[in-house]
């Protein structure tokens, strides 16, 4: 079974400052992927960044970076230079094997989410 | 925009009724997954369809069923609606793969209210 834990229900940050959103995970899959999504009030899930379990380097996408610590099973999202438009719900998610012992990947397991509010 | 469209955007149903939600996947994607997102929660995986067959299912009762058509569009059907079925239903399309990094593209969801 896969599990994602996001322990911060809400976070506040000043515009132009950096913020870290925490995510820990648990899985028995030897190979898996970790994702971060942004969900504005409109409801659509917007892909931000991806980290593979065998990737040697931490992923970066523009102002987003993923602090991946495999031994600690954590995959924290760092947003640099926060903008007012970053205010939204953020979800950490994992993709592992669709079925135990299988080879196909499919479902995403999501955490509870963190509401980020950026203040001017 | 992701190219994944869901209809309708909002829906109100009465307890005990049946509902059908629709999803058009992104061009070229042969896999569709459905998720239920209760208010204030993370999305929960309902099931996945690959080439018209269900190939994975989450912890949802049989009254949640689906279809995938030859053009890879999909339907989610829920029978005997309960108040707890009120949620945002998200559809995601992707290419079925042995790569865990395969990106899923989400639609904007259908918000279902059961009264």
- Residue-wise pLDDT tens digits, B54-85: 988 999 999 999 999 998 899 999 999 999 99
Taking only the tens place, the pLDDT of each residue in A9-61 is 999 999 999 999 999 999 988 888 999 999 999 888 999 999 999 998 999 99
Q: Using an 8 Å CB-CB cutoff, list chain B residues near A105.
A: 97-100, 102
Show which of residues 21-40 on chain A sit within 8 Å of chain B, judged by CB atoms: 31-33, 37
B42, A110: Cβ pair inside 8 Å?
A: yes
Chain B residue closest to A33 (CA)?
B100
Asked if residues B23 and B8 have their Cβ atoms less than 8 Å apart, the reply is no
Average pLDDT, rounded, for chain A: 92
Give the rounded percent of residues in chain B with a pLDDT score beyond 70.
Answer: 97
Chain B residue closest to A10 (CA)?
B40
Q: At CA B106, angle to CA A5 and CA B104, rounded to 5?
A: 70
End-to-end CA distance of chain A: give it in Å, rounded.
41
pLDDT the model gives residue A1: 78
A90 touches chain B (CB under 8 A): no
Report chain B residues touching chain A, CB-CB < 8 A: 2, 31, 33, 35, 40-45, 48, 50, 55-56, 58, 88, 90, 92, 96-109, 111
Confidence of residue A119 (pLDDT cuts 50, 70, 90): very high
Residue with tokens 């994702």: A35
Q: Does the pLDDT of residue A117 top 80, yes or no?
A: yes
Average pLDDT, rounded, for chain B: 93
Confidence of residue A104 (pLDDT cuts 50, 70, 90): low
pLDDT the model gives residue A50: 94
Which of the pair, A88 or B26, is modelled with greater confidence? A88
pLDDT the model gives residue B108: 93
């Amino acid at each position: 079974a896969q599990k994602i834990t996001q322990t911060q229900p809400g976070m506040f940050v000043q515009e132009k400052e950096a913020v870290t959103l925490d995510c820990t995970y648990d899985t028995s899959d030897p190979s898996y992927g970790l994702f971060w999504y942004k969900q504005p009030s409109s409801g659509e899930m917007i892909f931000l960044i991806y980290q593979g379990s065998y990737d040697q380097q931490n992923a970066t996408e523009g102002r987003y970076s993923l602090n991946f610590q495999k031994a600690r099973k954590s995959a924290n999202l760092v947003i640099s230079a926060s903008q007012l438009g970053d205010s939204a719900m953020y979800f950490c998610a994992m993709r592992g094997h669709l079925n135990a012992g299988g080879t196909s990947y499919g479902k995403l397991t999501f955490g509870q989410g963190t509401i980020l509010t950026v203040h001017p | 925009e992701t190219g994944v469209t869901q209809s309708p955007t909002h829906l109100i149903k009465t307890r005990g009724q049946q509902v059908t939600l629709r999803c058009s996947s992104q061009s070229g994607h042969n896999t569709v997954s459905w998720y239920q997102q209760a208010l204030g929660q993370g999305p929960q995986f309902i099931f996945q369809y690959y080439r018209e067959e269900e190939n994975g299912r989450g912890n949802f009762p049989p009254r949640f069923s689906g279809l995938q058509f030859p053009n890879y569009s999909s339907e989610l059907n829920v029978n005997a609606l309960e108040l707890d079925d009120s949620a945002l239903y998200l559809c995601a399309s992707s290419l079925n793969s042995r790569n865990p990094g395969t990106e899923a593209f989400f639609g904007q969801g259908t918000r279902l209210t059961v009264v």
